[in-house]
Amino acid sequence: MNERSLLELIPRSVLNVDKPPGMTSNDVIIGIKEIFNLKRCGHTGTLDKNVTGVLIVALENATKAMPVLMGLDKEYEGTMYLHKDIDRKKLEKVISKHFVGEITQIPPIKSHVSRKPRKRRVYFFDILEKNKKNVKFRTKVQAGTYIRKLCSDIGEKLGTGAHMKELRRTKVGHFKIEDSHTLEEIKERLEDEKFLRKTLIPIEKAIPHVKGVYVKDSSVSSIKNGAPVSSSDVIEVQEGIKPGEITGIFSQKKELIALGISKTSSKMMLNKKRYAIRTDRVI
């Protein structure tokens, strides 16, 4: 893939922003729009006003890829405050037994989703340090898991009560906090092309978890106009694509053209008689 100019790169990129406390996720979007003079931006997972850390922001055309960025697992570090001090071993035992693995969670009252019980996965919830009632923790959870509610539910199960005191999101999928940048840093270094090229993540590099196909140059124009991908268009297929899966459609230059819905499996993609992918979102 040839190196794009910054004007070409910006609308096809995402940013890994370190959200500060005191700002809403929407405030960050407004800030990014102003910095780059953009009409359209979107984030891939709201952080509460006083929660800090990784907020993935898609710019302009890259917002069309948000469906494959929103369902990524999340990691957090934070402090839970116990309303009554208890033994660390008892705390770890309760968490291990009831709050690791598949759990059932009812979203909090202030959430924007239906308050119905739903299954979510907690991959781990590790106690890093316990100082009386203050418990520092690190956790990895499935997208859509509410950490504030998780802390509250732990307190209820303990019979002591508990609430989330501090929280920082340290990872979203493959996006890490150590690779993030603050709004202030981005604004101050807007004229630094080397910094911008390091900071702006091309959409192709932002979605390594999405399997894809590569199509002939002669097929690109019709696909950009919304035409489906037939097997005769495809020259290369990544393994593991399943029917109904969101699939990346790439040019021979490895540029993302569109996202589509696979109608068949990787093994059958090159069968010349098959309709392979329904084009869904042209990038």
Write out the catalytic residue numbers. Answer: 48
Helix (H/G/I), strand (E/B), else coil: 33: helix
Q: How many CA atoms lie within 13 A of 121 on its CB side?
A: 6
Please name which of 22, 7, 20, 4 lies closest in space to residue 59, comparing C-alpha atoms.
7
Residue 187's nearest CA partner among 195, 198, 177 is 195
Q: How many CB atoms lie within 10 A of CB 248?
A: 24
- Residue 234 is which amino acid? V
CA distance 137 to 122: 13
- For residue 194, count CB atoms less than 10 angstroms from its CB and return exposed for 0-12, middle for 13-18, buried for 19 or more: exposed
Q: Determine which helix (DSSP H) or strand (DSSP E) holds 152, and give its type and residue range.
A: helix 147-158
Q: Assess contact for 2 and 253: CB atoms under 8 A.
A: yes
Helix (H) or strand (E) holding 194: helix 193-199
Strands 246-250 and 212-215: parallel
For CA atoms 71, 75, 76, 80, the dihedral sign is positive
Nearest CA to 239 out of 228, 227, 231, 247 is that of: 247
Tell me how far apart the alpha carbons of residues 216 and 209 are, in angstroms, rounded to a whole number: 23
Residue bearing tokens 């004007």: 7
- In angstroms, the CA 45 to CA 57 distance is 9
